[in-house]
Structure 1
């Protein structure tokens, strides 16, 4: 007997709004008991700017979650507490490796109720953090959206979140559409599957158009230097000043340090849903494609992803959303249905069109990551190599060793990073400070894997083509200066120094993510 096709209502997923809440997020908790939380949120930017947030939070009473009733209130509390938590950790001269009880205790309780980690996830900063400006207009219109909370108060930060919100809203109808396609494939209804795939491809094109609007109101340098540090988690952040993670003081006396990834668009259930229903298989970064084997019976359900990072990101989604993806995995049959009907040209063209559009979306995403992460990081590197900066670093490091005591945090970071780099160079290793996955390598492989299931040979060739790199021919044959035009050897990859509110740490060009995942 085939598994039951998931019912959206069982997972709190809206057929109209998808993974966005069906009930609009609250702009304020109604119970006056929580006015202290709301007052801090209303003045969050000023408290961070004046570096007084920690003192205000430390004086807060520990508020109970007993007054939270509806799910919208729990979600609002989660947003308030997670924004306060990240502001507390990253909003000083040095990062705080502890969260005091007034934040830690209620945040742990709220997170447990909502089945999310106690950090600012994609759900906190995007899915549950918006409001429409006009109630009679759609929420997939960027001009009709506003954020509820930001760390900086900058338009750039709001725009960064809202592009994702609009994409979630625009892509929401794809979810019931493709569940219907799965049902139609079970019934051997190729006409319905073809029609739904064509609509899917059109929506993917809309999402790419929305993604490209990121440049309109989000400046790469403002994002990289002012916004991105607040979205960092506590995992692999030793060089940023959190070698052990963060201690959540829950009053038990048995607290231990916790490490969580920061918010990331990789935590979007919608994008993973696309991969699942199309049967796209993602492998660990660097692993080559193998012959596809082991179809699972008539239903042809897609194999579970092997990529640990992708699976780990499901732990940062709301629990019901993650369970939904797992249940869709068990019934996904579109790829196998298309392969069994490879003589049906309209069906194959529609399926390949979806793959092509999804690959195009990932291409644009790589371009945005390059503009918002790679290029600003190179600018930071260039500035850090100026003679003035280099002299200052040497002097600070020397002074630190001579004095034999720890300098103030904002100064000591450079000295520690320089010493660590020297030690790493001796061992032949590269520092990876913010670290989780190799960003560009991961994104490029995910893009390439998107085209692998293509049915038509011309589609496979089209999506597997490699663009020629300009300026690679031997124009200066016989005229090479030492090192001119030569690629950097893998063992000597240049590192990038990232200046954040928490200090300075190093990263490779290919390491880290938009939100330090």
Structure 2
């Protein structure tokens, strides 16, 4: 699922009022589909030279099922990336190599490969250097660049989207990935109206700011509606090579032929590497800080997360796993974001006009949609990750085993199923959950809940009420 993620915003005082607003196309961002390619990613490399890669991808699931994938990759010719001519071709090559590498490592039950052969590692490192993204399965390769339109002339709706490749060949994995793509498309189409709103702020055109916020709202409302048998089969393939001793990679992963057979420790694919929500957080001025451990308050039995005014280190780390152009887009946004300061300044009047009231209402409505998405994401994580961790793998799934005695803490297996019941009943109550990490290395529930709460606290009407 799309994780609730952001990057740290810059304060208004450090922004340069002279820098032009970003143009989406300059950063490989589409006005129609946001951070996913438009009209759609390249489905196959056209050069015959790369057919050894594509042929493996054609039979990836069956090669894994028959335990022939590693032998096939071990004898694969070591190709260069010099024949890749366009950026979509480079995206496709990176995606292919990510899928082959993670299938090679994780695709044989408990026999976890500790290294990958030079025929795979060398071109993987080379293409990663060219497109400025680490050589590990990322959200970009697993989701952004791994989908197609079932009907090329049809709409960009979830019913018309399908993955190009999955690790398991299951409809579950296809659904999991396509929901993320659909969220990206729905949310990404709000970016241009929001940039138009930022331009209207520069022009001090209050009416146009409000109109564009309402345009963005119509897109953001679609996002939450898109999140309404992931854990044991699919989740391990998304793991990287960092802090994974419990899953069978105690020393990272060796990339043969790369920097004297370098061992890398890299986080795996997580929707926290999406650029969509960081962009929205920057535009709306939602700030996220490092959270501390739960602490006792005033000699009572209650606990709460306290915050420090330091950037969230995990969120900043995730930014390094985004495509280079998308990172540059976020950096540009951080320098020109002006929407929150404008709305706050207009709402400061003790007797605001109807136009100002409409402005604040539209701004807060957009924030509320982001908050609702994060609410739903917490419920989904509770149902599909925490609950599955408590239960253990289903009988007969030995082929997809993980070392559950190490990866599932005792607190998980002993905890009551209150959170799952609350999620199933649609309850807003959120009982405390024991710590469990996401594929990106986050302590899931405190991470998600804090991001959600900070989003809600950014509503202007709440800020005004506290004064």
TM-score band by shorter chain is 0.7 to 0.9
How far apart in 2 are the matches of 1:136 and 1:234? Answer: 40
Identify the residue that residue 491 of structure 1 maps to in structure 2. none
How far apart in 2 are the matches of 1:289 and 1:307? Answer: 10
Quick one: which of 98, 102, 105 aligns to 1:86?
A: 102
For 1:250-282, what per-residue CA distance to the aligned partner results, in whole angstroms no more than 9, with x for missing partners? 255x23211111111111111111111010000
Q: Helix, strand or coil for the counterpart of 1:113?
A: helix
For 1:436-494, what per-residue CA distance to the aligned partner results, in whole angstroms no more than 9, with x for missing partners? 22101110000000012222249979xxxxxxxxxxxxxxxxxxxxxxxxxxxxxxxxx
1:248 equivalent to 2:255? Answer yes
Q: Normalising to structure 2: TM-score of the pair?
A: 0.81
Tell me if structure 2 keeps the 8 A contact 1:204–1:361.
no
Identify the residue that residue 66 of structure 1 maps to in structure 2. 82
Structure 1 vs Structure 2 CA RMSD: 2.6
Identify the residue that residue 161 of structure 1 maps to in structure 2. 177
1:104 equivalent to 2:104? Answer no
How far apart in 1 are the matches of 2:163 and 2:363? Answer: 36
Identify the residue that residue 375 of structure 1 maps to in structure 2. 387
Q: Using the TM superposition, give the Cα deviation of residue 289 of structure 1 relative to its aligned residue in structure 2, in angstroms.
A: 5.5
Tell me if structure 1 keeps the 8 A contact 2:232–2:393.
no
Distance 1:414 1:156, change over 3 A: closer
How far apart in 1 are the matches of 2:275 and 2:384? Answer: 23
Tell me if structure 1 keeps the 8 A contact 2:186–2:220.
no
Moved over 3 A (4+): 286-291, 430-435, 457-461
1:234 equivalent to 2:251? Answer no
1:130 equivalent to 2:137? Answer no
Q: Which has the larger radius of gyration?
A: 1
Quick one: which of 216, 220, 223 aligns to 1:207?
A: 223
Distance 1:331 1:449, change over 3 A: same
Tell me if structure 1 keeps the 8 A contact 2:22–2:329.
yes
Identify the residue that residue 333 of structure 1 maps to in structure 2. 338
1:349 equivalent to 2:361? Answer yes
Identify the residue that residue 274 of structure 2 maps to in structure 1. 268
Distance 1:194 1:376, change over 3 A: same
Q: Using the TM superposition, give the Cα deviation of residue 9 of structure 1 relative to its aligned residue in structure 2, in angstroms.
A: 2.2
Distance 1:285 1:229, change over 3 A: same
How far apart in 2 are the matches of 1:188 and 1:74? Answer: 42
Tell me if structure 2 keeps the 8 A contact 1:116–1:316.
yes
Identify the residue that residue 455 of structure 1 maps to in structure 2. 460
Q: Which runs of 5+ in 2 are unaligned?
A: 1-16, 293-304, 396-400, 411-434
Q: Using the TM superposition, give the Cα deviation of residue 248 of structure 1 relative to its aligned residue in structure 2, in angstroms.
A: 0.8
How far apart in 2 are the matches of 1:47 and 1:148? Answer: 17
Identify the residue that residue 390 of structure 1 maps to in structure 2. none
1:190 equivalent to 2:206? Answer yes
How far apart in 2 are the matches of 1:437 and 1:232? Answer: 12
Identify the residue that residue 313 of structure 2 maps to in structure 1. 308
1:76 equivalent to 2:92? Answer yes
How far apart in 1 are the matches of 2:438 and 2:154? Answer: 44
Q: Helix, strand or coil for the counterpart of 1:28?
A: coil
Q: Helix, strand or coil for the counterpart of 2:451?
A: helix
Tell me if structure 1 keeps the 8 A contact 2:436–2:444.
no
Identify the residue that residue 441 of structure 2 maps to in structure 1. 436
Aligned residues: 401
Q: Using the TM superposition, give the Cα deviation of residue 54 of structure 1 relative to its aligned residue in structure 2, in angstroms.
A: 0.9
Q: Normalising to structure 1: TM-score of the pair?
A: 0.73
Q: Helix, strand or coil for the counterpart of 1:324?
A: helix
Distance 1:259 1:460, change over 3 A: farther
1:223 equivalent to 2:230? Answer yes
Distance 1:185 1:375, change over 3 A: same
Identify the residue that residue 426 of structure 1 maps to in structure 2. none
Distance 1:6 1:237, change over 3 A: same
How far apart in 2 are the matches of 1:460 and 1:103? Answer: 58
Q: Helix, strand or coil for the counterpart of 2:254?
A: strand
For 1:344-385, what per-residue CA distance to the aligned partner results, in whole angstroms no more than 9, with x for missing partners? 2111111111111111110001011111101111111999xx
For 1:169-203, what per-residue CA distance to the aligned partner results, in whole angstroms no more than 9, with x for missing partners? 12222111111111111111111111122222232
